[in-house]
Structure 1
Amino acid sequence: MNTPVDVHRRNWIAREEQAERMIPLVGGLYRNHGVVTSIHGRRLIALSSVDLLKAHKFARQAGADELSLDDSTRILEALLALRPGPASLDIARLHQAYVDRGGDADLVDFLRGELAEILVNGEDPGAPKDVVLYGFGRIGRLLARLLIGHAGSESGLRLRAIVVRKGSEDDLTKRASLLRRDSVHGPFAGTIVVDKENDTILANGTLIQVIYSNDPATVDYTAHGIHDAIVVDNTGRWRDREGLGQHLQAKGVSRVLLTAPGKGDIKNIVYGINQDQVGDDRILSAASCTTNAITPVLAALDEAYGVQRGHVETVHSYTNDQNLIDNFHKGSRRGRSAALNMVITETGAAKAVAKALPKLAGKLTGSAIRVPTPNVSLAILNLTLDRPAPRDELNGYLRAVSLHSKLRQQVDYIESPEVVSTDFVGSHRAGIVDGLATIADDDNVVVYVWYDNEFGYSCQVVRVIERMAGTHPVVLPTRLNVTLETVKEMTQA
């Protein structure tokens, strides 16, 4: 039989088998060399064969050239032959660079030239950096998942411990269960073993010490073999230098990162915008989820069009700070049931943007509405620009930013009339521009930015930790500085 149905089915099976052969290539590069591979920002690590096919198809949907499975396989095999050091490599862009050079040179030789700075030739990539999670709530558990998932190579970050206040006699079992099962993000991808005698959790080969303490200053991490650690404070209990400085009094701690906006003179770091300011500061903040979502988009718009002023309205999923049913709350309106109400509240995200992007100081106002959804939020940027921004031009620019710019790890772009908030659960990007929702009227524009306020933000936090530890992988090929002119040139080409 050779009906169209049979042909399509055979083609699908052949593509699926080819994708299956790619899986060990992707895994080998990651486990043995610390190389994270992607296709236009879509990570390939730990994907199924079907997900690999979807990653290849995404390029066409995003307005880029689709990468064939044959081309991907050749790139991956050539990379393995070169034995590169830790890096984040976009194989779609590597292939495009190869084609732009004529596509007739030896592929291994071409890649050797492109990736010269990460070819280690057997050199030791360095010891991993110890990380401690102080607090194990929504962000803490997602950070644990990410850090465990990043532990495939022997360099980089290594989750060593979590610190919590003991809640019950079976506290350890409950903590492990919350790591194993998540109502929003699904089950943990792997195995978890609890050792009650030693207060440890073994997750996919990562041994995590659970430490019970009410005082950050008195924990002795060195007693557990932890040294020079970065402590990530997820509690939100302390947000100023004095409070967070308590961590530095503990034995075995070198630096502290807060997963909330810092107060006073603490630097708020939004990766992709001001990570160069990390420096040697011992106490830093990773800002808020909303600040991370909107700042990269605002930076891109300001660079191309200039932002005169604007208002940011955040439609934000409820958080654990709110009440499930009506009850007393020290905050205004937050005492009313989060599951039944839209709740107008305050947000400091608009002002916080200026700490990462001083050019916008005093230009933005902001407010927030908490809504009855557990995750994924939406920021509405109502902006007045320095010059007119036609809708198609504006969207084309933001699409190019998501694919080719220095912000492509932070900004994503989508055009679909059917997407809703749950479609963005698990996004690795800080924010996703919804192109079909864009409104443009001369120099007044409204841009809608979705963001997974839990997972997308946690990915940004990990990038900051890597920067603090000096382990953030080199991102290659070198990313373009996208301008309106380059977008127009790409469109015309």
Structure 2
Amino acid sequence: MRVAINGFGRIGRSILRALATTRGGEGVEVALLNDLAPLETCAYLFEYDSTFGPFPGRVEMRPGALALNGAAIPFHHAPDLSALDLSGIDVVLECTGWANTRDVAERGLRAGAEAVLISGPSVAADVTVVTGANDAALTDQAIVSNASCTTNAVAPLLKLLDDLWGVESAHMTTIHCYTGSQPTVDAPREDLARSRAAALSMVPTTTSATKLVEHILPHLKGRTTGAAVRVPTASVSAVDLTARLARRPEDFTERLRAACAASPVLGWTDRPLVSSDLRARPESLVLAGPETLCGPEMTRLFGWYDNEWGFANRIIDVARRMARRDWEENTNVA
């Protein structure tokens, strides 16, 4: 699979790190990088990461390229991706955060790529796919959205609960680390609470996952609500879910633990962990067994997710499925 990464910010760099340092990169060639920032800056931010630490390999700058362990990746600075030649690229990983219109989302296709995968919610996408929640929605669409990190955390959990016991109603609060959308010192924002210094206060706000979950799991529409609290930590977020279930088995915890063990995206821990212990975990959500409470009326579940690393791994997973789809079509034709 040949991919191009458009936008070399937090998610773009996390994707490249995951591909370069884990088995998830087997069979994947990053054929092109594109970002407006200077190559020197991008190389430095990739090599020295405040969250994940130094890159465990050799990072070099070459003329028009970023080299990892001696392998050079062409690096471009095109403000319009359609100006590049992307013929032979299976999937463009669109990580700029600006693909909210069809015109921008289609630029990778106009440059010659087979498909585009957007690393966030986008109304311009043909379909929004969350691994472990609505996998069957991915067919032959050319522009796909991977939703948000929080949606990838909560939607598979809600689907699992609904499949096993039926979800009558649920409320999710994401306890989310601060992000680049918040200021480091008080500064004007449209959302007044989010105009406050990110690392000094807990900030109540909204989450796009509220609407996205209903889009991903339409049969639960009207039965789920959600909110967010941004907290002064730099990485790893959490989901605190309270649900009313239609059926109440006596072996709830045991069945939930077994279901997580069988899931490709959900994890489980019985240890009394804190957020920093979950850094660089690849799962969409790791449920905390000690925090699980199955009461007479309501069930409470708590889980951790590395909102950068886990999300980057899901983008790689969906990109693989998109590329395999094209390969299978060509094989069938042959």
Q: Is the TM value for this pair above 0.5?
A: yes
The within-5 A match list for 1:175-190 is: 175-190=42-57
Identify which of 436, 447, 454 aligns with 2:290. Answer: 436
2:15 maps to which residue?
143
CA deviations on 1:356-398 (whole Å, 9 max, x unpaired) are: 22322221111101000001111111111102254xx222112
Q: Whose strand proportion is higher, 1 or 2?
A: 2
Partners of 1:289 and 1:457 within 8 A in 2: yes
Identify which of 204, 207, 212 aligns with 2:72. Answer: 207
Partners of 2:31 and 2:89 within 8 A in 1: no
Question: 1:215: Cα distance to partner?
Answer: 1.4
Matched, 1:357 2:217: yes
The within-5 A match list for 1:287-366 is: 287-366=147-226
- Matched pairs, number: 326
Partner Cα separation in structure 2 for residue 456 and residue 228 of structure 1 = 24
Segment of structure 1 superposing worse, 238-247 or 366-375:
238-247
The within-5 A match list for 1:45-444 is: 129-149=1-21, 156-166=27-37, 171-195=38-62, 198-222=63-87, 227-250=88-111, 252-263=112-123, 266-390=126-250, 393-403=251-261, 405=262, 407=263, 409-417=264-272, 419-444=273-298
**Partner of 1:334: helix, strand, or coil?**
helix
Flag the 1:265–1:173 CA change in 2: closer, same or farther, 3 A. Answer: closer
Query: What residue identity is the alignment partner of 1:412?
Result: G
Partner Cα separation in structure 2 for residue 173 and residue 243 of structure 1 = 26
Partner Cα separation in structure 2 for residue 286 and residue 140 of structure 1 = 13
Partners of 1:201 and 1:210 within 8 A in 2: yes
Segment of structure 1 superposing worse, 297-306 or 155-164:
155-164
Flag the 1:304–1:264 CA change in 2: closer, same or farther, 3 A. Answer: same
Question: 1:151: Cα distance to partner?
Answer: 7.8
The within-5 A match list for 1:469-488 is: 469-470=323-324
**Partner of 1:160: helix, strand, or coil?**
strand
Question: 1:461: Cα distance to partner?
Answer: 1.0
Structure 1: stretches of 5+ with no match in the other structure: 1-128, 473-493
Query: What residue identity is the alignment partner of 1:247?
Result: G
1:75 maps to which residue?
none
Partner Cα separation in structure 2 for residue 334 and residue 146 of structure 1 = 30
Query: What residue identity is the alignment partner of 2:128?
Result: N
Partners of 1:351 and 1:364 within 8 A in 2: no
Query: What residue identity is the alignment partner of 1:164?
Result: D
Partner Cα separation in structure 2 for residue 461 and residue 394 of structure 1 = 31
Partners of 2:240 and 2:302 within 8 A in 1: yes
Partner Cα separation in structure 1 for residue 115 and residue 71 of structure 2 = 22
Larger radius of gyration, structure 1 or 2?
1
CA deviations on 1:311-331 (whole Å, 9 max, x unpaired) are: 111110000111000112233
1:8 maps to which residue?
none
Q: Whose helix proportion is higher, 1 or 2?
A: 1
2:303 maps to which residue?
449
Query: What residue identity is the alignment partner of 1:238?
Result: A
TM-score by length of 2: 0.92
Question: 1:150: Cα distance to partner?
Answer: 5.7
1:119 maps to which residue?
none
Q: Percent identity?
A: 33
Question: 1:152: Cα distance to partner?
Answer: 9.1
Partners of 1:387 and 1:443 within 8 A in 2: no
Question: 1:301: Cα distance to partner?
Answer: 1.0
Flag the 1:332–1:255 CA change in 2: closer, same or farther, 3 A. Answer: farther
CA deviations on 1:453-488 (whole Å, 9 max, x unpaired) are: 01011111110011111189xxxxxxxxxxxxxxxx
Partner Cα separation in structure 2 for residue 269 and residue 232 of structure 1 = 14
2:330 maps to which residue?
none
Matched, 1:468 2:326: no
1:3 maps to which residue?
none
Structure 2: stretches of 5+ with no match in the other structure: 327-334
CA deviations on 1:293-325 (whole Å, 9 max, x unpaired) are: 111111111111100111111110000111000
Flag the 1:322–1:245 CA change in 2: closer, same or farther, 3 A. Answer: same
CA deviations on 1:396-415 (whole Å, 9 max, x unpaired) are: 11210122x2x2x2111111
Query: What residue identity is the alignment partner of 2:71?
Result: T
1:26 maps to which residue?
none
1:61 maps to which residue?
none
1:114 maps to which residue?
none
Partner Cα separation in structure 1 for residue 249 and residue 107 of structure 2 = 49
Partners of 1:229 and 1:254 within 8 A in 2: yes
Partners of 2:105 and 2:124 within 8 A in 1: no
Partner Cα separation in structure 2 for residue 205 and residue 211 of structure 1 = 18
2:329 maps to which residue?
none
Partner Cα separation in structure 1 for residue 174 and residue 209 of structure 2 = 9
TM-score by length of 1: 0.63
Partner Cα separation in structure 2 for residue 461 and residue 145 of structure 1 = 13
Partners of 1:316 and 1:377 within 8 A in 2: yes
RMSD value, Cα: 2.0
